[in-house]
Amino acid sequence: MSKRTRNIIIALTGLILSAVLMYQIPDVRERLAWRIDVFQIYVKNVIDPVGPVPTALPVTLQPATATIRPTNTKKANLTPSVTPTSTFPPPPAQVSMTSPPYEKQTPNNCGPATLSMALHMYGWEGDQSDISDLVKPVTGDRNVNPEELRYYVRTQAGWLNLEYRVGGTIEIIKRLLAANYPVIVESVTSLNPGDALGPADDLWAAHYLLITAYDDTTQEFTVQDSYHGPDLTISYAQLEEEWKPFNNLYMVIYFPQYEDEVKTLLASDWDPNLNRQNALIATQAVTATDSADAFDWFNYGSNLTYFEKYEEAALAYDKAREIGLPLRMFRYQFGPFLAYFHSGRNDDLLALTDYARGITEMSEEAWLWYGYGLYRKGDYDGALKAWQKADGINPKFFEDQARNAMQLVQ
C-alpha cells in the first residue's frame, strides 16, 4: 500500500470517527436525525409513491340520508352556562398586544413553541422543550393535538387555564384580543420544499399561530409564527381560508379568576356542546350548497362525530375524500378513524390508517386505530404490534389509550 493511499484511508477514518462523535451531541443528533428521516421518506416515495388520499370503498348499507337535524344524544344538557349575548359593542379598529419573546420551533414542534410564546405573555418562564418533553417526548412525533396543549396548561401551569373551541370567526378573535386575550389558531402552512415527502408532495401542513394584534384599516392580523418568524401579518381573508381546514379551531388562555369574563366573551360558544351544535348547524348549511368543498364536508363529518352520529359522519368524510384532501390531513385530524370504526366500516378504517401511516410513520393516532382495525379483523398479533408502536411514539401522554387497547390481547 502506497503512502498516499494510507494517508487517504487515515483521513477518511478520521472523518468518519469525527462524524460519529459529533452525532453523539444531543442537538446535532436531533437535527441530523430529522434530516435523515426526511431524506429516507423522500427516497421511499420516489420508489413507491403513496399517491393521493384513497376514496371510500363501496358502502353496502347506508343511512337514508346524511343530513340530520343537529341534536345531542351524547350529552343531555344543552342549557348554556352563560346567557348568550346576541350583540357586542364594536371592538376598537386597532388592537396591539405586546409581542412575547420569539421562539423558533425545533423540528415538529410548532404546538409547544406557540404555546410557550403564549404562556410567556402570562408570566411563564419555560420554553418549548418543557412542553414537548411531556406531550411529545419523541422528536419524530409529527403532531400535537389541542387536547395535549390543554393538558399541559392544566397540569403544569395550573395557575392558568386553556379552552379551545371550533367554529371561530374573525369577530371572536377581535373580541378576545380587544379584551387582552391572545388567541392561538390551528391553520394551514406551506412547508419548505426541503421538507417534501416526495416529488408530488403538496407541501400542505397544519400549523399553530399566536395572534397578538389586528388592524381593521389594513384588514390584517399580526401573528407570531414559530416556523416563519415573529410579528408577521396575515389578512383576515387569508386567515379565514387557512383556518377552515381545521374547523376554525381556536384556543384562549386565561387566569381562572377571570373565567366569567371569558364566558361572557364566548357567549353560547362557552358551552362545548352548544359550540359544537352551532358549528354543526353552520357546516350542515354549507354542505347543502353547490359551493361546498372537501374541507366543508370534512368539518361536517367532524361535528357529526362529536355527537356520535358515526354513520352520517362517515358519509360526510366519504364526500370529502371524493373531492380530494391534502396528503397530510390524517396526520392532524382523526375523526374519520372513529367514524369508520364505529359505523362498522373496517375496510375503510384499515385503508385510511394504512395510508396515514404511509404519509406519517410516526403518528400514534394512526397506529392506534390501525391496531383496532386489525383487531376487528382478527389479527391480534398485528394489533398488539400496532399498539406497541403507538405507545412507543408517545409513551407519556398517549399511554392510557395504547395500553388499554393492548389489554384486549394480553
How is 237-281 classified by DSSP, letter by letter?
HHHHHHHGGGTT-EEEEE-GGGHHHHHHHHGGGGSHHHHHHHHHH
For residue 151, what is the enclosing H or E element?
Answer: helix 146-156
278 domain-assigned: no
Same domain, 260 and 359: no
88 domain-assigned: no
User: What is the share, in percent, of the chain residues with pLDDT greater than 70?
Assistant: 81
Same domain, 120 and 255: yes
C-alpha dist (Å) from residue 340 to 56, 213, 365: 10, 41, 14
Q: What number is the average pLDDT over the span 145-160?
A: 94
Same domain, 18 and 126: no
User: CATH number, domain at 324?
Assistant: 1.25.40.10
Same domain, 59 and 120: no
Same domain, 181 and 303: no
Alpha carbons 176 and 252: distance in angstroms, whole number: 8
Alpha carbons 212 and 69: distance in angstroms, whole number: 37
285 domain-assigned: no
Alpha carbons 230 and 113: distance in angstroms, whole number: 12
| Residue 44 pLDDT | 64
Residue ranges making up the domain that contains 172: 94-270
394 domain-assigned: yes
User: CATH number, domain at 232?
Assistant: 3.90.70.10
| pTM score, whole prediction | 0.85
Same domain, 310 and 391: yes
Between CA 370 and CA 44, with CA 346 as vertex, the angle to 5 degrees is: 40
Lowest mean pLDDT among 73-77, 129-133, 305-309: 73-77
| Residue 42 pLDDT | 60
Number of domains forming the structure of the chain: 3
- Cβ–Cβ < 8 Å for 62, 315: yes
282 domain-assigned: no
Tell me which residue has cell 387555564. Answer: 161
Question: The C-alpha cell of 130 is what?
Answer: 418543557
| Residue 20 pLDDT | 47
| Residue 83 pLDDT | 45
Q: What is the pLDDT of residues 172-194, one digit of tens each?
A: 999 999 999 999 999 999 888 87
Same domain, 147 and 265: yes
286 domain-assigned: no
Query: Does 399 score more than 70 pLDDT?
Result: no
| Residue 67 pLDDT | 39
87 domain-assigned: no
Same domain, 345 and 260: no
Same domain, 35 and 126: no
Reported confidence tier of residue 72, pLDDT bands at 50, 70, 90: very low
Same domain, 109 and 251: yes
Query: Does 6 score more than 70 pLDDT?
Result: no
194 domain-assigned: yes
| Residue 19 pLDDT | 47
